[in-house]
Chain A
């Protein structure tokens, strides 16, 4: 059965790649390949993990990868369809000139996600009994882009699930649909295969309360978790390799659109898709609070600029040469083009908003080009500015720019009233080393931070694929700097652990499927592009760095 599944999977991958090739879209192809590699990596990591929190992280990455692959595949399907439709349209000479004015794109950011919980008062104030914990995270999808938030552990001492991430989507059109999905996995759920022996399991479940025991028993039943739980309806197209380990289930979801965008915090309703019997259940209040902001390009970018002449107050016949810049809701008129770079205040600023009326004036008998009249209502008064250009083409271009601006504003509605701020969190300092992770982490963290580089390379027959969730491009030769913040060090330990696992003595290391899984959202220093000279092997080098690592690891193993 597994053989068949694997063959099916390979066939699907070939199919996907073929479509991508036929569309000659190398961009999507690269993205799909990247995601497939990450997915393989996540599967292997999940199988190799022994620590629960690492397994949860790997499972989360797996789900995200699956979702991304599904999104890319549907995008490919759409592109294929569009291509076919275009061919059909070309054949039929019916297609008249359509007004294909497209609204500008925007940057959409969602932040400060908060989901209130509604524990029963008996649950909330309980002091004893097992602490039923769940690992939750949010998956956000817009168009073809999917992002996951960091994982948060939730138990009955929390009143809200808070996600501190700010997720930014680029190049979004006004008709967007941002799907927010909350996935949860019970802490007692799964674990690596055979981690809970049957006898212990039955003992535990019988000694716990009735509902908790029911949940545990359901969780520990083989095949109790459906294979569809790794990312929605991916069964048919992407049969998931049955990987042991914690699985996430969809707990709630909602869809946000342009109407929900506002420059402040708002509460939206959540649709809950699970019930109390599930092991991953959390008592949600039923709403999600967040800040959804959008910055359309028409508000942030210069839409049009050029030389203009404007009639400034006083002299009705005199024209002043100015350099006009159309951006956001204003037309800035600078005396010179350089003034804009020098941040000198513009001579005149003309408002261009929903209330503005623009029309082409009658042809001036003295000049060749038409003038443009811009009227605004200030208070009770109507103020009109008259602009003129050197040629008819220029006038045409400016009118076109104004029409496009009006169209964008009508499409983006409330986002064009004022520029909404999007704050990207500043890169935080490395998290403080928490003593409860054990002395080895502390040791490793402190000492490894002193090392400069660790080289991992392709070693002959030993396959050394490193799907690294950190770097954008995947290379067989990978150099990564060890100036890492602490959360990464525990994954480094996994890698060392794996290689130790397969060695007989501390001095010989075989590399076999090393995986590094870390939260995707942390920024990392970029890996240098030039590969360093190939040397012996990670820990077989004859230098202080390797010696130190060897000493560290041997001390770790002697402590055990």
Chain B
């Protein structure tokens, strides 16, 4: 049964349940920044544990950490650098998908730029593998493309 929003929503916490069954708490004002969560709260009420089928216990704490900083206005370039420092390219991808599912705009934009920064100097082969994209060029077509833009292929990082 849905309740009316209390006058002290800022101190109210919402319970979120991940796809793998774990429960995490988040402040209502932070939940507001994730439009999917807010929509579920509007539908189901803020006293019920909100189920997030597509987000898991590995990512949700990180996302909560980001928005905890956001509501206190503490997101700086240094914080953002630190936030992604220990994540590998695949972990960022998972977080990025979760931010998209949660409709968490600020985090989504930040992670889009971070993934772009990671891919900036990577090879074509690495990018194909990263996105699971198949090469549908013939060998002749591909070598012609590389010849035409040989200068854009210089300065690429070695694949790990």
A binds B: no
B residues whose Cβ falls under 8 Å from a Cβ of A: none
